[in-house]
C-alpha cells in the first residue's frame, strides 16, 4: 500500500516537473553567411522553426557571419575550443581540405553508416567525393551549381549576330566577341565589349578560368597531385588564349585586373559586356541591379564553349558548398539531425524555390519541376554532369593564387609563357611536400 | 598687407583641406539616400535622383539588433579608451619623473609591444580568453583593445608630461601634497591635450576594429556596429545604401566625443607657470 | 631684432640640481620626499608604471610569447619538439616576401611622409586664431571617424573606372579623355592606396601635433611678435624646436602603425594587382588565414617586428635621454 502511494507520488511529481520545465533542451548553434541576406534569412528561419517543431528537444540558435570573414572566424573559434555546432561553408576548395586536414570537422562517417547503406545514393558522386578526406566523410554537400555562359541577346542582335545561336567553340567565341566590341552610342569610342571576366585575386577567378582550362583539355595538376600540369601544350594554349583576349583582341573592357565578380555583373547589367561566365546566382543579381530592364527576354544561356574539334569529358567546373559539424560540439547527435534535415529532399527543394540554388541531390536537381522549368536552372543542371571540381587539397589556395597572379601578369603585358612558367615553378615548389626527395617535376 | 595675404592663403588652404576631407563623406552621405539601383548608376549621380530614407536608414535601423550593436560599440570603445588613457598617464608620469633601473629597457618594451601585428595575436589571445571564460564578454574585448592602445598612450603621455616642468610637482609637494596628489592635481590638468589625443585614438581604434571583434564574439548580441556593417558586404555584392547609412550613423559618436573633448585640447598654461 | 636662436619652453636641466646639497628648504625637502633618483625614486617609478606593465604582461604576454615560439615550431599541435629555424630560412629565400618588404617600405614611407606634412600644415593653421576655428577643427577630424575597412570600400568605389566619382569628375572638367584605371594599373595603384590612407590617417598625426603645439606657451609667441618676428621665423625658431619631441614621437608611432596597416589595403586591392600593393601585413594575413600556414606567418611577423625594432632603437634612446 505504502509503496503504491510512493510510486503514485513519484509519477505525479515527475509529470508535474516535466510539465513545468519542459523536456530537457539541447542547444546548438547554427551559423550560415546566408543569414545576412534577407531572402535567405527568411527561408532559413522558416526551416529552423520547422526543425524545432519536429524536434522539440533541440533548440537552435542562429549565428551571423559575413561571407568574406567566415573562414577566419570559424578557424580561430575551433582552434580555441569553441565555435558554432553546425557551419555552412563554401566554396569548397577554399576551406574544406584545410579544415579537414587539421581535424576541425567531426567525422560524419559513423552517422552516415547508421543511416543505412543507401543513404548517400541520392547525391551526385562528385559531391560525395568532394567532402571525403582520407576516406572519411567530414561534411554533407550543399549547393551545387555549374558555370555556364550567360549572354545578352539584345546586344547580339544589335551586332548582327543570331541571338539564338550562342558560340559553341572558343574560336567562334572570339569571333563573336570581336563583333560585339563596338561603339554603341556613336561617340567614336568603344563602350561595349564582348566578354567580361574576373581579373582580381578572388575565389571567383577560379570559377571562370577553370572551365577554360578544362575545355581546352588541360588541367592544373598531374593526376597524382605531385606536380603542376601547366606545362602541357593545351594548358599553354588555353592560358595564351585567355590572356590575348585582353591584350591582343581587346574584347575585355580595360581594368580587368581589378574586376571582381560583382563588378563584372555590374558591367553586364549596364550592358557594357555581352557575355560573362556565371552560374545560378547570375540572373537574379543582374535583375536586382537593373530592375527596370526586362531581363527575361534578354538573357540567354549556353554551355561553356570548347576548343574546336575537342569533346573533353569535363568542360566546366562547379560551385559547391557544404555543411559541417564542429569537432568541439557538445551535442553531435543533435547537430547531425540538423544537418540531415537541412540537406533533406524537402529542404533542398525549398532552397531552390526561395534562393534559386541547385542542390547536390540528384533527386532534386534532375527531377524537381521548377528547376526544369527555368531556362538558366535547366542549363545549370545539365552541365553538372560535365563539371569537374578542382584539386581539393590543402595547398589549393596557394596554387590558385599563383595561377591568378600569373593571369594578372599576362593581362598587364608580361609574355604569357613567362608568366605561366613562373606559376608552374611556384606550384611545383608548393607541392614539394608530396614528393620524395629526388623526385623532380618536369620543367616548363 | 602681408597679414591679409597670409590670411587669404590660410583660408584657401583650409578650404582645400575641407574639400579633401569631405568628398568621401559627401559621397557616403548622398549614397545613404539613394535607392539600391541608383547606387549602381553609370555614370554616378552626384545628387540622388529620388532621395529616399527607407532604403538606407530605414532598412538599417530595422535590423533586429542595431541599437544593441551601437551600445556595445560605445561600451567597449569608451571603456578601453578611458582605461588606456588613465593607465597610460600613470605610466607616463613614472617614466617621465623618475630614474630607475631598466627605464630605457621598459620604454623599449613599450614600443616593441606594438610591433607584432594583430593577425598573429588574435589566435592565442582567443585561446586565453576561452580558458578564463571571458570569451564573448565586454571585459574580454575591453582588455584586448586597452592593450593595443596602452603602449601608444604611455609613450605619448610620457612625452607630454616631459613638457611639464617638475618644479610644479615639487612646488605642490612643498605645499603638503603627496606625490600622487601632485600628479593628479598639478600635472594631470596640464596634460589634457595629450590625454584628449590618447582618448580619441583609443576610442577610434576600438570603434573601427573588425578582426578582433569578429573572432572574440560569437553571439549577435555582443557584436559591434562595425562588425554589423561588415556583413553588408555580402557574397555577391555590397548593399551600398544601408552600408553608407550605417556608416554615417556610426560616425556620429566619434564626432560627438571629439566635439566634447576638443575644448580640452586648448591648454591654458597661463599664470606664468613657466619662466623661459 | 628677433633673437635668431631656438626658444625653448623648458630649461634643459644639467642634472646638477639633483645632487645639490644646499641648506635651502627646497633641497632638504627633495632629499626626503622629492627625490626622483636612488631607491626611493625607483620605488615610486615602479609604482607608477606598474598597472601599465601588469596589464600588458597579463594580456599581451602569453599571446606574444606563443606567437614568437610559433615561428620556430608548430607549438599548438606538437609543442616544442620540432624546434627549427627552417621557417626563417624559407623566408630569406622567398622572393614573394622580399617583394613585400619593398612594397612596405614604399607604402610606409609614402604615407608617413604625407601624414606628417599634411598633419603639420593643418595643425599649424588650426593653432592660430582663425574664425570658425571649431568648425574647421571638426572638419579636420572627420576622416578619422570612419573605420578603415569602410574607408577602403568607399575609396575603392570612388576609384572605380566607370562608376566612380574620381574619374567622373576628371571627365566632367575635361582633364582626361579616357578612363584611368586607378586600382588596376600597377604603377598607379600604390599612389592611389597611399592617398586613400593619407585621407584616413593624417587627422591622427594632426591631432598629436596640434596637442603638442597647444603646449607651447603663448608668451613665447607674443614675446617674439613684440621683437618683430615673421611667421616663418616663429615657425622655425619657436614652433619646430619645441615640437621636435612630439614630431619624433608621432613619426615613430606612425611608422609602426602604418607597417601594421591592413584593413584598408586588403579591402581595396587584397595586395594586387600582381602583388603591387602586397605589403607585409597583407601577406601575413593571407599566409595565416587563407593558407593556414601559421608558422610561416609567425616567422614573417616576427621578422617584421625585428625590422621595426631596429628602426625604433634611436627613438627609444632619444626618449630615454630625458630627465
Q: What is the CATH number of the domain that holds B162?
A: 1.10.3720.10
Average pLDDT, rounded, for chain B: 85
Q: Are B63 and C21 in contact (CB under 8 A)?
A: no
Q: If you write DSSP's letter for every residue of A159-180 in order, what string do you get?
A: TT--TT----BHHHHHHHHHHH
B209: in domain = yes
Please answer yes or no on whether A255 and C163 come within 8 Å at the CB atom.
no
Dist. CA B249–CA B61, nearest whole Å: 10
A17: in domain = no
Q: Which residues, numbered 40 to 69 in chain C, qualify as contacts with chain A under a Cβ-Cβ cut-off of 8 Å?
A: none
Chain A environment of B45 (Cβ under 8 Å): none
A302 touches chain B (CB under 8 A): no
Please answer yes or no on whether B98 and C42 come within 8 Å at the CB atom.
yes
Question: Interhelix angle for B66-97 vs B138-162, to 10°?
Answer: 40
Average pLDDT, rounded, for chain A: 92
Asked whether the predicted pLDDT for residue A13 surpasses 80, the reply is: no
B19 touches chain C (CB under 8 A): no
Number of domains in chain A: 2
Specify whether A230 is located in the same domain as A97: no
Question: What is the three-class DSSP state of A152?
Answer: strand
Most confident of A8-22, B27-41, C34-48: B27-41
Backbone torsions φ then ψ of A144, nearest 5 degrees: -135, 110
Q: Which residues, numbered 156 to 195 in chain B, qualify as contacts with chain A under a Cβ-Cβ cut-off of 8 Å?
A: none
Alpha carbon of B127: minimum distance to chain A alpha carbons (Å) = 5
In this complex, which of C161, C269, C274 lies closest to A409 when CB atoms are compared?
C274
Dist. CA A350–CA B238, nearest whole Å: 25
Q: Pseudo-torsion of CA A253, A257, A261, A267, nearest 10°? A: -20
pLDDT score of A260:
92
B84: in domain = yes
Specify whether A142 is located in the same domain as A156: no
Dist. CA A17–CA B27, nearest whole Å: 61
A379: in domain = no
Dist. CA C290–CA A395, nearest whole Å: 10
Q: Which residues, numbered 195 to 254 in chain B, qualify as contacts with chain C under a Cβ-Cβ cut-off of 8 Å?
A: 196-197, 200-201, 204, 207-211, 226, 229-230, 233, 238, 240, 243, 247, 250-251, 254
Number of domains in chain B: 1
Question: What is the three-class DSSP state of A142?
Answer: strand
Which domain does B140 fall in, by range?
A: 63-231
Chain B environment of C252 (Cβ under 8 Å): 111
Question: Model confidence at C277, in pLDDT bands (50, 70, 90)?
Answer: very high
Q: If you write DSSP's letter for every residue of A75-132 in order, what string do you get?
A: HHHHHTT---SEEEE-SHHHHHHHHHHTT-BPP-HHHHHHT-TTTTTTB-HHHHHHTE
A10: in domain = no
Q: Render pLDDT for A237-260 as a digit per residue (tens, 0 to 9).
A: 999 999 999 999 999 998 999 999
Q: Which residues, numbered 63 to 122 in chain B, qualify as contacts with chain C under a Cβ-Cβ cut-off of 8 Å?
A: 87-88, 90-91, 93-101, 103-104, 106-121
A2: in domain = no
A33: in domain = yes
**A15: its cell numbers:** 509529470
For each of the domains in chain C, give its residue range(s) and CATH number, in order of start.
17-70 (no CATH), 86-320 (1.10.3720.10)
- How long is chain C? 323
**A84: its cell numbers:** 558554432
Q: Which chains touch A (3 or more CB pairs under 8 A)?
A: B, C
Please answer yes or no on whether A254 and C273 come within 8 Å at the CB atom.
no
Q: Render pLDDT for A265-291 as a digit per residue (tens, 0 to 9).
A: 999 999 999 999 999 999 999 998 888
Question: Model confidence at C245, in pLDDT bands (50, 70, 90)?
Answer: confident
Q: Are B88 and B80 in contact (CB under 8 A)?
A: no
Specify whether A76 is located in the same domain as A182: no
Strand partners, A278: A148
Q: Render pLDDT for A205-243 as a digit per residue (tens, 0 to 9).
A: 999 999 999 999 999 999 999 999 999 999 999 999 999
pLDDT score of C187:
93
A9: in domain = no
pLDDT score of B86:
93
Q: Render pLDDT for A130-152 as a digit per residue (tens, 0 to 9).
A: 999 999 999 999 999 999 999 99
Q: Are C179 and A255 in contact (CB under 8 A)?
A: yes
Q: Render pLDDT for C286-295 as a digit per residue (tens, 0 to 9).
A: 999 999 999 9
Please answer yes or no on whether A398 and C184 come within 8 Å at the CB atom.
no
Please answer yes or no on whether B94 and C48 come within 8 Å at the CB atom.
yes
A200 touches chain C (CB under 8 A): yes
Dist. CA A358–CA A379, nearest whole Å: 11
In this complex, which of B37, B218, B233 lies closest to A68 when CB atoms are compared?
B233
B46 touches chain C (CB under 8 A): yes
Please answer yes or no on whether A290 and B220 come within 8 Å at the CB atom.
no
Query: Any idea what DSSP says for residue B232?
Result: T
Please answer yes or no on whether C145 and B254 come within 8 Å at the CB atom.
yes
The CATH number of residue A97's host domain is 3.40.190.10
Specify whether A191 is located in the same domain as A338: no
Please answer yes or no on whether C138 and B258 come within 8 Å at the CB atom.
yes
Specify whether A286 is located in the same domain as A325: no
Chain A environment of B127 (Cβ under 8 Å): 79-81
Asked whether the predicted pLDDT for residue C142 surpasses 50, the reply is: yes
Which domain does A185 fall in, by range?
A: 148-316+392-434
Please answer yes or no on whether B231 and A64 come within 8 Å at the CB atom.
yes
Dist. CA A228–CA A246, nearest whole Å: 25
**Least-confidence region, from A172-176, A403-407, C6-10, C41-45:** C6-10
**Minimal-distance CA residue of chain B relative to C284:** B119
pLDDT score of B64:
67
Question: What is the three-class DSSP state of B218?
Answer: coil
B213: in domain = yes
Q: Are A403 and A202 in contact (CB under 8 A)?
A: no
A187 touches chain B (CB under 8 A): no
B236 touches chain A (CB under 8 A): yes
B90: in domain = yes
Dist. CA C188–CA C183, nearest whole Å: 7
B16: in domain = no
Specify whether A309 is located in the same domain as A323: no
A192: in domain = yes
Q: How far, rounded to the nearest angstrom, does the alpha carbon of residue A134 sit from its chain's CA centroid? A: 22
Specify whether A83 is located in the same domain as A120: yes
Alpha carbon of A60: minimum distance to chain C alpha carbons (Å) = 28
Question: Which strands, in side-by-side order, build the sheet including A140-146?
Answer: A58-63, A26-31, A86-89, A318-325, A140-146
pLDDT score of C130:
67
Please answer yes or no on whether B40 and A270 come within 8 Å at the CB atom.
yes
Specify whether A194 is located in the same domain as A277: yes
Specify whether A232 is located in the same domain as A368: no
Chain B environment of A65 (Cβ under 8 Å): 231
Specify whether A303 is located in the same domain as A336: no
Mean pLDDT of C52-77: 89
Chain C environment of A272 (Cβ under 8 Å): 162
In this complex, which of C160, C161, C186 lies closest to A412 when CB atoms are compared?
C186
Specify whether A200 is located in the same domain as A274: yes
Amino acid at each position: 500500500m505504502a509503496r503504491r502511494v510512493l510510486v503514485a507520488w513519484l509519477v505525479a511529481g515527475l509529470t508535474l516537473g516535466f510539465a513545468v520545465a519542459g523536456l530537457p533542451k539541447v542547444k546548438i548553434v547554427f551559423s550560415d553567411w546566408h543569414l545576412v541576406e534577407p531572402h535567405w534569412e527568411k527561408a532559413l528561419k522558416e526551416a529552423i522553426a520547422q526543425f524545432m517543431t519536429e524536434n522539440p528537444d533541440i533548440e537552435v540558435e542562429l549565428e551571423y557571419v559575413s561571407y568574406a570573414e567566415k573562414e577566419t572566424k570559424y578557424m580561430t573559434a575551433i582552434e580555441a575550443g569553441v565555435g558554432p555546432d553546425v557551419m555552412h561553408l563554401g566554396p569548397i576548395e577554399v576551406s574544406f581540405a584545410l579544415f579537414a586536414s587539421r581535424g576541425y570537422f567531426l567525422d560524419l562517417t559513423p552517422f552516415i553508416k547508421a543511416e543505412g547503406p543507401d543513404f548517400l545514393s541520392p547525391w551526385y558522386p562528385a559531391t560525395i567525393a568532394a567532402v571525403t578526406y582520407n576516406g572519411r566523410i567530414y561534411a554533407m554537400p550543399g549547393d551545387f551549381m555549374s558555370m555556364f555562359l550567360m549572354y545578352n541577346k539584345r546586344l547580339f542582335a544589335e551586332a548582327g549576330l543570331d541571338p539564338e545561336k550562342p558560340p559553341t567553340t572558343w574560336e567562334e567565341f572570339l569571333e563573336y566577341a570581336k563583333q560585339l566590341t563596338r561603339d554603341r552610342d556613336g561617340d567614336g569610342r568603344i563602350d561595349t565589349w564582348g566578354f567580361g571576366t574576373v581579373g582580381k585575386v578572388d575565389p571567383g577567378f577560379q570559377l571562370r578560368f577553370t572551365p577554360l582550362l578544362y575545355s581546352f583539355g588541360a588541367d592544373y595538376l598531374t593526376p597524382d597531385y605531385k606536380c603542376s600540369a601547366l606545362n602541357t601544350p593545351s594548358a599553354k594554349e588555353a592560358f595564351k588564349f585567355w590572356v590575348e583576349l585582353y591584350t591582343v583582341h581587346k574584347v575585355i573592357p580595360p581594368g580587368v585586373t581589378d574586376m571582381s565578380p560583382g563588378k563584372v555583373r555590374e558591367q553586364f547589367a549596364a550592358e557594357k559586356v555581352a557575355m560573362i561566365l556565371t552560374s545560378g546566382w547570375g540572373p537574379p543579381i543582374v535583375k536586382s541591379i537593373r530592375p527596370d530592364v526586362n531581363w527575361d527576354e534578354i538573357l540567354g544561356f549556353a554551355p561553356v564553349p570548347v576548343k574546336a574539334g575537342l569533346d573533353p569529358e569535363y568542360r566546366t567546373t562547379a560551385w559547391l558548398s557544404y555543411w559541417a559539424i564542429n569537432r568541439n560540439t557538445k551535442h553531435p547527435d543533435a547537430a547531425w539531425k540538423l544537418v540531415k534535415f537541412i540537406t533533406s529532399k524537402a529542404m533542398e527543394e525549398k532552397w531552390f524555390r526561395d534562393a534559386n540554388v541547385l542542390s547536390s541531390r540528384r533527386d532534386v536537381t534532375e527531377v524537381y519541376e521548377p528547376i526544369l522549368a527555368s531556362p538558366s536552372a535547366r542549363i545549370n543542371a545539365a552541365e553538372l554532369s560535365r563539371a569537374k571540381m578542382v584539386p581539393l587539397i590543402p595547398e589549393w589556395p596557394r596554387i590558385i593564387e599563383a595561377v591568378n597572379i600569373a593571369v594578372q601578369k599576362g593581362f598587364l603585358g608580361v609574355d604569357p609563357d613567362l608568366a605561366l612558367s613562373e606559376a608552374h615553378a611556384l606550384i611545383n615548389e608548393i607541392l614539394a611536400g608530396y614528393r620524395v626527395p629526388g623526385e623532380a617535376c618536369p620543367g616548363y | 598687407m602681408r597679414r591679409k595675404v597670409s590670411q587669404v592663403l590660410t583660408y584657401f588652404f583650409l578650404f582645400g583641406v575641407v574639400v579633401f576631407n569631405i568628398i568621401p563623406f559627401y559621397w557616403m552621405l548622398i549614397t545613404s539616400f539613394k535607392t539600391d539601383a541608383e547606387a549602381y548608376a553609370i555614370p554616378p549621380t552626384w545628387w540622388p535622383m529620388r532621395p529616399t530614407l527607407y532604403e538606407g536608414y530605414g532598412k538599417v535601423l530595422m535590423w533586429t539588433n542595431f541599437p544593441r550593436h551601437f551600445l556595445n560599440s560605445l561600451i567597449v570603445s569608451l571603456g578601453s579608451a578611458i582605461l588606456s588613457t588613465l593607465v597610460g598617464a600613470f605610466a607616463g608620469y613614472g617614466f617621465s619623473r623618475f630614474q630607475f633601473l631598466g627605464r630605457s629597457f621598459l620604454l623599449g618594451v613599450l614600443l616593441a609591444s606594438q610591433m607584432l601585428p594583430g593577425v598573429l595575436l588574435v589566435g592565442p589571445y582567443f585561446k586565453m580568453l576561452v580558458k578564463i571564460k571571458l570569451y564573448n564578454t565586454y571585459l574580454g574585448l575591453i582588455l584586448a583593445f586597452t592593450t593595443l592602445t596602452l603602449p601608444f598612450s604611455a609613450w605619448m603621455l610620457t612625452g607630454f608630461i616631459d613638457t611639464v616642468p617638475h618644479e610644479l610637482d615639487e612646488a605642490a609637494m612643498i605645499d603638503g601634497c603627496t606625490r600622487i596628489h601632485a600628479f593628479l592635481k598639478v600635472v594631470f590638468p596640464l596634460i589634457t591635450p595629450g590625454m584628449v589625443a590618447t582618448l580619441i585614438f583609443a576610442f577610434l581604434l576600438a570603434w573601427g576594429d573588425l578582426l578582433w571583434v569578429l573572432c572574440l564574439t560569437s553571439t549577435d548580441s555582443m557584436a559591434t556596429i562595425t562588425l554589423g556593417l561588415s556583413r553588408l558586404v555580402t557574397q555577391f555584392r555590397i548593399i551600398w545604401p544601408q552600408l553608407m547609412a550605417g556608416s554615417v550613423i556610426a560616425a556620429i559618436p566619434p564626432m560627438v566625443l571629439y566635439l566634447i573633448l576638443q575644448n580640452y585640447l586648448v591648454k591654458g598654461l597661463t599664470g606664468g607657470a613657466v619662466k623661459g | 631684432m628677433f633673437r635668431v636662436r631656438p626658444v625653448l619652453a623648458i630649461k634643459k636641466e644639467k642634472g646638477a640640481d639633483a645632487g645639490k646639497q644646499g641648506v635651502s628648504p627646497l633641497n632638504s625637502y627633495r632629499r626626503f620626499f622629492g627625490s626622483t633618483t636612488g631607491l626611493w625614486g625607483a620605488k615610486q617609478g615602479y609604482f607608477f608604471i606598474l598597472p601599465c606593465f601588469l596589464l600588458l604582461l597579463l594580456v599581451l604576454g602569453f599571446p606574444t610569447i606563443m606567437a614568437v615560439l610559433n615561428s620556430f615550431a608548430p607549438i599548438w599541435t606538437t609543442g616544442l619538439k620540432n624546434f627549427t629555424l627552417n621557417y626563417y630560412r624559407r623566408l630569406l629565400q622567398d622572393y614573394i616576401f622580399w617583394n613585400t618588404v619593398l612594397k612596405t617600405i614604399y607604402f610606409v614611407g609614402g604615407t608617413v611622409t604625407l601624414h606628417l606634412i599634411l598633419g603639420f600644415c593643418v595643425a599649424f593653421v588650426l593653432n592660430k586664431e582663425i574664425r570658425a576655428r571649431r568648425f574647421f577643427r571638426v572638419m579636420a577630424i572627420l576622416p578619422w571617424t570612419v573605420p578603415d575597412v569602410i574607408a577602403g570600400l568607399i575609396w575603392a568605389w570612388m576609384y572605380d573606372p566607370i562608376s566612380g566619382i574620381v574619374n567622373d569628375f576628371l571627365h566632367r572638367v575635361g582633364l582626361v579623355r579616357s578612363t584611368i584605371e586607378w586600382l588596376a594599373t600597377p604603377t598607379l595603384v600604390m599612389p592611389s592606396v597611399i592617398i586613400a590612407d593619407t585621407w584616413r590617417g593624417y587627422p591622427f598625426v594632426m591631432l598629436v601635433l596640434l596637442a603638442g603645439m597647444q603646449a607651447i606657451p603663448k608668451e613665447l609667441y607674443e614675446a617674439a611678435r613684440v621683437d618683430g618676428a615673421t611667421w616663418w621665423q616663429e615657425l622655425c625658431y619657436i614652433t619646430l624646436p619645441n615640437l621636435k619631441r612630439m614630431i619624433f614621437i608621432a613619426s615613430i608611432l606612425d611608422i609602426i602603425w602604418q607597417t601594421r596597416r591592413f584593413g584598408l589595403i586588403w579591402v581595396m586591392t587584397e595586395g594586387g594587382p600582381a602583388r603591387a600593393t602586397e605589403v607585409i601585413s597583407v601577406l601575413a594575413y593571407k599566409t595565416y588565414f587563407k593558407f593556414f600556414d601559421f608558422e610561416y606567418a609567425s616567422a614573417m611577423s616576427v621578422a617584421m617586428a625585428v625590422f621595426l625594432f631596429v628602426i625604433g632603437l634611436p627613438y627609444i634612446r632619444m626618449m630615454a635621454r630625458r630627465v
